[in-house]
Amino acid sequence: MAASFYSQAAANRRNSFVLVVVIVALLAALGAAIGYGTTGAVEGTIGWLGIFGIVAIASSLLGYFSGDQVVLAASRARPASEAEAGQLFNVVRELTLAAGIPMPKVYLIEDTALNAFATGRDPAHASIAVTTGLLERLDREELQGVIGHELSHVRNYDIRYAMLVGVLVGTVALVADVFLRMTFWGGFGRRSSSNERGGGGGLQALIFVLAIVLAILAPFFARLVQLAVSRQREYLADASSVELTRNPYGLERALATIADDTEVLEVANRATQHLYFRNPIRRFEERSKGLFSTHPPIVERINRLRTLTGEAPIGTAGLPGARSAD
């Protein structure tokens, strides 16, 4: 029996929630280890967790209110007019009605590469940016699939979700770096030695060593979890796009066409690559493996769509032109 987009969406939401819990647990473990390892007291543990919380909240507020404008400016996106992109506006308006969300602002990126992204803190403050190459190459059904995917990111609050994950991962990296630098220069080492002479015992020394190990490894594993969350949200947006368009074939054909595109999106960078419909940094994408990619392989995305209609999966060789228009 073919899987429904409801079951796919539910599974991806569960997986994403579990991955965020893993990052929070990693952050808490690092804070607890640093706090006790440097002070030998429960109060020190609570204090370090408080520092983590303040940094995370401040970063979240900054990204929440200004992150979308920074992304649009970095991508050189300009406001589009309905006169120059009538079909795009028509598709966006049609699918926002289906999704039950406000009409987002529409932007164009002057580039021949085939790509798009959505940004904004919530559906009432959302924007969609599409490359001119995408508008030129895709037909209406394919464009509906891509826009449905991006509007699903908006409706599912994926941008806010990605920001939360990014802040957590950034907090792990920031505090781990500060701790390691202070340890290297002797600030924490002298304090730890003094506590041991005062009777802190071997437990504190053991926890201090554990804190160093966590500070080295935690940013790496937190980044892996962030990438896994990004891939899960892409699967969820694909499934939600089918829910909006009631047509898996348009999105499947769009994925196949975009996979065959060799153009490089010049304005993309590593800070914004996770936002796009497809990873725009091709050199990275070609060398990447599953754990280190911001997006799932396009073949896997197509095959998940094919499960919705009960069709056999395709291999890499069958990717270009995976399905002709009906």
- For 6-35, what is each residue's pLDDT tens digit? 665 566 567 667 777 777 788 788 888 888
Q: How far is CA 76 from CA 115, 129, 138, 284, in A?
A: 14, 10, 22, 22
**Region 82-97 average pLDDT:** 96
Confidence of residue 199 (pLDDT cuts 50, 70, 90): very low
Within 8 A by CB and 6+ apart from 174, the residues are 55
Q: Is the pLDDT of residue 122 over 90?
A: no
Give the pLDDT confidence score for residue 316 in this predicted structure: 57
* Cα-trace Rg, the chain: 23
Alpha helices per DSSP H over 40-139: 42-74, 86-99, 132-137
Question: Do the domain assignments include residue 122?
Answer: yes
Q: Is the pLDDT of residue 102 over 90?
A: yes
Alpha-carbon distance 232 to 178, whole Å? Answer: 31
Number of C-beta neighbours around residue 82 at 10 A? 12
**Region 180-186 average pLDDT:** 79
Q: Which of 215, 234, 79, 60 is nearest to 146 (CA)?
A: 234
Alpha-carbon distance 49 to 266, whole Å? Answer: 40
Residue 149 has which token pair? 């995917």
Alpha-carbon distance 149 to 147, whole Å? Answer: 5
- What total of structural domains would you count in the chain? 1
Alpha-carbon distance 320 to 253, whole Å? Answer: 9
Q: Is the pLDDT of residue 257 over 60?
A: yes
Confidence of residue 101 (pLDDT cuts 50, 70, 90): very high
Give the pLDDT confidence score for residue 264 in this predicted structure: 84
Residue with the bigger pLDDT between 168 and 85: it is 85
Strand 78-79's sheet: what is its strand order? 78-79, 105-109, 126-131, 116-120
Question: Do the domain assignments include residue 320?
Answer: no
Q: Is the pLDDT of residue 292 over 90?
A: no
Question: Do the domain assignments include residue 318?
Answer: no
Question: Do the domain assignments include residue 151?
Answer: yes
What is the rounded average pLDDT for all residues in the chain? 80
**Region 236-244 average pLDDT:** 91
Percent of the chain with pLDDT over 90: 30
Q: Which domain holds residue 12?
A: 1-309
Question: Do the domain assignments include residue 176?
Answer: yes
Question: Do the domain assignments include residue 316?
Answer: no
Indicate which residue of 141, 150, 234, 252 is catalytic.
Answer: 150
Question: Do the domain assignments include residue 123?
Answer: yes
Q: Is 94 a catalytic residue?
A: no
Q: Is the pLDDT of residue 232 over 90?
A: no
Q: Which of 271, 211, 293 is nearest to 282 (CA)?
A: 293
Give the pLDDT confidence score for residue 206 in this predicted structure: 86
**Region 213-222 average pLDDT:** 85
Residue 174 has which token pair? 């920031």
Give the pLDDT confidence score for residue 7 in this predicted structure: 66
Within 8 A by CB and 6+ apart from 25, the residues are none
Question: Do the domain assignments include residue 111?
Answer: yes
